Amino acid sequence: MSPTASPLRNSGLERDLEIIEAVAAASPLPLRNGDVAIKTNRDKSQTSRAINRLIDSGLLIRSGQGVIVGPRLYAIARFTFEAQLVAIARGEMHGLVHKFGETVHLTVLQGLNVVTIHSESPAHGFRALSWMGVTAPSYMTSSGRVLLSGLADDQLERLYPLKKSIEGAPALCLTKNGAELLSVIHKIQNDGYATVNEEYEPGLVGASVPIRDFSGVVIAALNVAAPKARFEEHLIPAAKEMAKAAKRITQALTSTID
């Protein structure tokens, strides 16, 4: 039997959180039910019933003879992180909109696509095109390429084999196979920003920079996209301004951890 504990420790929520924390701490190795009971100092049968409920909810999943953190928990963590990222970034994005007079987007990588999680737009209605929730192929967009630039070469080659043509690449796209994409990614890593000129859509240009976490890992991108006739000559200056904003966002993210 487990020792006498406080009312909070005996609550179902607190018990479930302790189980999840124990399983997460052992990641990526699965943790057996008995080991979970030992780590949480609880009765084994009680722990097994709780684990089964957490599996039913998707917070844990079976792996071999044990359990690991489930996809639902990762989804919750992702949404929480993105909400924090948006809260920190939106002030910087508003300042960029004021400088550029164009909509600025915050994007993250989702599989092989880039998805916009927040946009800040100028007051001009005809410039306030929203891309919230919109996905686009990572290989052909400036924000997608910036996000891919955070990967090691071997990771990128697994996603986009060097000698394999990328299906659906538009005529103006400069990255029609993995080798071309890798070359562009190396340039982005060197420059610190990415630009595209009508590669994603005729008449549209864009620039993007990475946002990094405290350890230097690329976690998101700032992006501005606008009609070529209006913004082509401003792409690199815009990228440099966004890079300053991205650095401040990283510093703010780091301070929340400290």
Looking at residue 111, its pLDDT comes to: 84
Residues 159 and 33 in one domain: no
Smallest CA-to-CA distance from 183 within 202, 156, 222, 218 is with 156
Determine the pLDDT at residue 82: 86
Same domain, 52 and 129: no
Say yes or no: 58 and 99 in one domain. no
- Residues 188 and 207: their CA atoms lie apart, in Å, by 11
The rounded distance, in Å, linking the Cα atoms of 208 and 149 is 11
252 inside domain: yes
What pLDDT shows up at residue 76?
Answer: 78
Over residues 123-155, the pLDDT tens digits come to 765 444 556 677 899 999 999 999 999 999 999
> Could you give the CA distance from residue 100 to residue 52 in angstroms, rounded to a whole number?
53
Domain identity same for 132 and 169? yes
95 shares its domain with 45: no
Which of the listed residues 53, 69, 85 is the one where a domain comes to its end? 69
pLDDT score recorded for residue 225: 93
Do 13 and 119 lie in one domain? The reply is no
pLDDT tens-digit series, residues 227-245: 999 999 999 999 999 999 9
115 found inside a domain: yes
Spans of the chain below 50 pLDDT: 1-9, 126-128
Q: How far from 51 is each of 4, 5, 21, 70, 236, CA to CA, in Å? A: 21, 20, 12, 11, 53
Residues 249 and 157 in one domain: yes
The answer to whether position 226 is within a domain reads: yes
Q: How many domains does the chain have?
A: 2
Give the residue numbers spanning the domain of 12. Answer: 8-69
Instruction: Write the CATH number for 39.
Output: 1.10.10.10
- The CA–CA distances, whole Å, from 14 to 9, 18, 70, 85, 86 equal 6, 6, 18, 27, 29
Q: Are strands 104-110 and 218-227 parallel, antiparallel or unpaired?
A: antiparallel
